[in-house]
Chain A
Amino acid sequence: MKKSVFFGALTVAGLMAGASAAATLDDVKARGSLNCGVTTGVPGFAEPDADGVWKGFDVAVCRAVAAAVLGDGSAVTFVPTTGKTRFTALASGEIDMLARNTTWTFSRDVDLKFEFVGVNYYDGQGFMVPAELGVSSATELDGATVCIQTGTTTELNLADFFRSNGMSYEPVPIETGAEAVQQFTAGACDVYTTDRSALAAQRANFDTPSDYVVLPEIVSKEPLGPLVRHGDNEWGDIVRWTLNALITAEELGVTAANAGDIAGSSNNPEVKRLLGAEGSLGEMLGLDAEWAKRAIMVEGNYGEVFENNIGEGTQIALPRGVNAKWTDGGLIYSPPFR
Chain B
Amino acid sequence: MVKWMLLVACLFAGSAYAQVGISGKVLDNKKRPLKGVSITIKDSYDGATTDSAGHFSFTTTEKDSQLLVISIIGYTTLEQTIFIGSVKLELTLQMKEEISELKAVVITAGTFEASDRKKTTVLDPIDIVTTASGNGDVTGALKTLPGAQQVGEKEGLFVRGGTAAETKTFIDGTLVNNFFYSSVPNISQRGRFSPFIFKGTVFSTGGYSALYGQALSSALILESIDLPEQTSADLSVSVIGVGGGYQHLAKNKKSSFGLSYNYTDLRLAFAVIKQQQDFQKVPIYHTGDANFRIKTSKTGMIKYYGYFSSNQLGYFVNSIDTLGYLNGFGLKNFNMYHNLSWKENLGRKWKMNVGMSYTNNKDNIETALYNEGKQEVLLQGLEFKNFQVEQKGNYFNSKLVLERRYGRLNMIRFGSEYNFSQDFTDYTAYNNQKYKQTIKENISAFFAETDLYITNNLAAKIGGRLEHSAFFDQTNVAPRISLAYKTGKSSQASLAYGVFYQNPETRYLPGSGILDFSRATHYIAQYQKTGNGQTFRTEIFYKQYHNLVKTVSNGSTQVALNNNGFGDAKGIEFFWRDKKTIKDLDYWISYSYLDTKRDYLNYPMAIQPDFATNHTASVVVKKFVQKWKTGFNAAYNFATGRPYFLIQNDPGSGKPEFKDQGKTPMYNNVSMSVNYIPSIGKQNAKTFVVYVLSVSNIFNIRQVYGYQYSYNGYRKEPIVPPSRMFVYIGAFFSFGVDRTEDAINNNL
Are A and B physically bound partners? no
